[in-house]
Amino acid sequence: MENLQLKTFAEYKKAYKKSVKHPETFWDEIADTFTWHKKWDKTLEWDFSKPEVKWFQGGKLNITENCLDRHLEKLGNKTAIIWEPNDPDEESRYISYRQLFVKVSHFANVLKNNGIKKGDKVCLYMPMIPELAIAMLACARIGAVHSIVFAGFSSAAIARRINDSECKMLITANEVYRGSKKVNLKEICDKALEETPSIESVIVYRRTVEPTPMKEGRDKFWFDELQKAEKECPAEVMDAEDMLFILYTSGSTGKPKGMVHTVGGYMVGTTYTFQNVFQLQKNDVYWCTADIGWITGHSYIIYGPLASGATTVMFEGVPSYPDYGRFWEICEKLNVTHFYTAPTAIRALAKQSLEFVEKHDLSSLKVLGSVGEPINEEAWHWYNDNIGKGNCPVVDTWWQTETGAIMISPLAGITPTRPTFATLPLPGVQPALMDDNGEEITNLNEKAEGRLAIKFPWPSIARTIYGDHERYKEVYFSTYENKYFTGDGSYRDASGNYRITGRVDDIVIVSGHNLGTATIENAIDEHEGVVESAVVGFPHDVKGNALYAYVILYDNVEPSEELRKEIRELVSDTVGPIAKPDKIQFVNNLPKTRSGKIMRRILRKIASNDTSNLGDTSTLLNPEVVEEIKEKALV
């Protein structure tokens, strides 16, 4: 598993230079270490103006052969997945590479028996149980495209995603444990299924013994289907550029974007970055606390670690159950060496008594990771001092659903770290810091601030938005000519280290979850008493950002607490509980430009209680509403 690792800072610098000077040779050599049925004819073909990116064209492979089959000989008995249940009294599950291989092949035949073929889309709405990993790999085994929907999303959100990519099958579980709560996933699915004509069958894994209503002819239990299926399943030979999965992420319009990742480049990108960023050794135990419903789970719980032959931990529960020591208890119990989590979790845990940490022996830890949002100075130090005891390098990894793999990050123990900085681009990544005039700030020896773009393709870049290539072009490739625009602001120090400062568009990262404000506004506007709304983010000490909604009501509707509750429920039902606004202010009007656009900049400042300088309001059609809103602000 250490075969792709750079070992020193000098090696990193050398690899970086090579990746810029000779990107094709650089990636050829890395891709060569994988198992292919046929070698590629062309390493890279790209044109950001179309935009089009193709890696390893003509190459034939199956990613599951790289995650499973190729390890069997040497690592067959090694633990691939350690599953840690929500309830600490329930037993952990250890699944070896060989067992995982058998389970994936077996379940792949269940998919086939239910009419799933190469290219078909399968929606997964599942708890954090090994069967989620098995189902996703089974899809990849037969060339079906998985579309995993985070099991905290609402029925309406599932239906929207299923319909967008016309999934033929839905895989779910009857119920899920989440801390002290139990959530009935099947019920949520049943509601979604009322409006998803493309779904032909539903496979239900029984996580609990509760009776589960099943629809005759459509719904089938996981175990019943396994009984009927063969155990062996040869891997479908895929083209490097065939679709591996679709994963939805929020956009600035109401509609989620189905990011499309392809087999070859994604495999090479996630595996290379996994090995280099985390620097795992042979018997290490790696734990990423993300949910597989997000890209972090796809790339760094499943594909990157398994392709590397690592032992990866999957945790079903939450950090606060049965108490706030749960993460540390698991680290101690499983001898976790690499721990990868989000700043929002770090901040929430840092708020608790240190006893929760000190009760546990954390001496197995070697490397700590952070992902999902900017990590503030205080959280960085708390993590470094109390969890890492000053001995574990902290890797602050910047990347996105769209990038598929980590882009800017230290290599653990190799790159000098700097608190709150994601530091340097990984080999193969060419960032461009853009100024207000849309020009690249090229001097790496002078500190600068701007917007972050990338000027050269990397293997795991998303190839398109499913069914909407125009939107893909518009969102990512139209801001700067010939560059991918990330949507993030960034600062760069005089040594070339990057600190990501946050989103510069209408996306807000709440507790590490990427939310489009337009989606939430659409949900609020569905309320019969609401004329219009505007949602913005404001700083929050645990969540990073929280949501503030400004809502205009119809004349005959009285503002009330009850109404606030209804609006929050509506958002929860349409998007999911994570999108509920923290604050709702009823207003008579919203500040709008002459062209009718809401001036969110001002609303953001009011929500953040930062109104000393609201900037230029001269282009407003109705400047008087600003005072009115400010006076009644909920700050």
- Smallest gap from residue 300 Cβ to ligand WT7 (A): 9
The DSSP-derived string for 352-408 is: S-THHHHTS--TT--EEEEESSPPPHHHHHHIIIIISTT-S-EEEEB--TTT-S--B
Q: Given the complex with ligand WT7, which of 105 and 486 has the nearer CB atom?
A: 486
Q: Are strands 60-61 and 238-239 parallel, antiparallel or unpaired?
A: antiparallel
Min. distance of Cβ 508 from ligand WT7 in angstroms? Answer: 10
CA 101 to chain centre: 25
- Provide, rounded to whole angstroms, the least separation between the CB of residue 512 and ligand WT7: 7
Q: Smallest gap, in angstroms, from Cβ of residue 418 to ligand WT7? A: 13
**Helix or strand run (H / E) with residue 600:** helix 600-607
Nearer to ligand WT7, 131 or 488 (CB): 488
- Enumerate residues 6+ apart whose C-beta is below 8 A from 187: none
Least distance from C-beta 487 to ligand WT7, angstroms?
6
CB of 19 or CB of 296, closer to ligand WT7: 296
| Tokens, residue 321 | 């159950």
Q: Is the link from the previous residue into 416 a cis peptide, with omega within 30 of 0?
A: no
Rounded Cα distance, 567 and 579, in Å: 11
Helix then strand then coil, in percent of the chain rounded to 5, is 30, 25, 45
Residue nearer to ligand WT7 on the CB measure, 100 or 244: 244
Q: At its nearest, how many Å lie between ligand WT7 and the CB of residue 499?
A: 8
The nearest distance, CB 533 to ligand WT7, in angstroms, is: 23
Min dist CB 398 to ligand WT7, Å, is 4
> Which alpha helices (DSSP H) does 91-184 contain, by range?
97-113, 130-142, 155-164
Question: Among residues 156 and 247, whose Cβ is nearest to ligand WT7?
Answer: 247
Residue with tokens 């990613």: 63
* Positive/negative CA dihedral, 194, 131, 292, 248: negative
Q: Which of residues 370 and 415 has its CB atom nearest to ligand WT7 in the complex? A: 370
Nearest distance from residue 302's CB to ligand WT7, in Å? 14
Nearest-approach distance from CB 395 to ligand WT7, in angstroms: 9
Of 273 and 514, nearer to ligand WT7 (C-beta) is: 514
Measured from the CB atom, the residue of 348 and 563 that comes closer to ligand WT7 is: 348
Beta bridge partners of 285: 311
Owner of token pair 């990984």: 426
Q: What are phi and psi of 30, to 5 degrees?
A: -70, -50
Alpha-carbon span 231 to 144, nearest angstrom:
18
Instruction: Pick the closer one to ligand WT7 by CB: 376 or 572.
Output: 376
Element spanning 213, H or E: none
DSSP β-bridge partners for residue 369: 340, 395
Task: Give 552: exposed, middle or buried? Use CB within 10 Å, 0-12, 13-18, 19+.
Answer: middle
Shortest separation between residue 346's beta carbon and ligand WT7, angstroms: 12
Q: How far is the CB of 348 from ligand WT7 (least distance, A)?
A: 17
395 C-beta neighbours (distance < 10 Å), count? 26
Provide CB contacts within 8 A for 211, sequence distance 6+: none
Measured distance CA(579)–CA(568) in Å, rounded? 9
Give the footprint of ligand WT7 on this chain (CB under 6 A): 249, 294-296, 370-374, 396-401, 422, 486-488, 500, 502-503, 509, 514
Q: Do 206 and 222 form a contact (C-beta atoms < 8 A)?
A: yes
For residues 130 and 489, which CB has a smaller minimum distance to ligand WT7 in the complex?
Answer: 489
Q: Is the bond into 51 cis (omega within 30 degrees of 0)? A: yes
Nearer to ligand WT7, 107 or 274 (CB): 274
Q: Which is nearer to ligand WT7, 62 or 154 (CB)?
A: 154
Structure tokens at 576: 């999911």
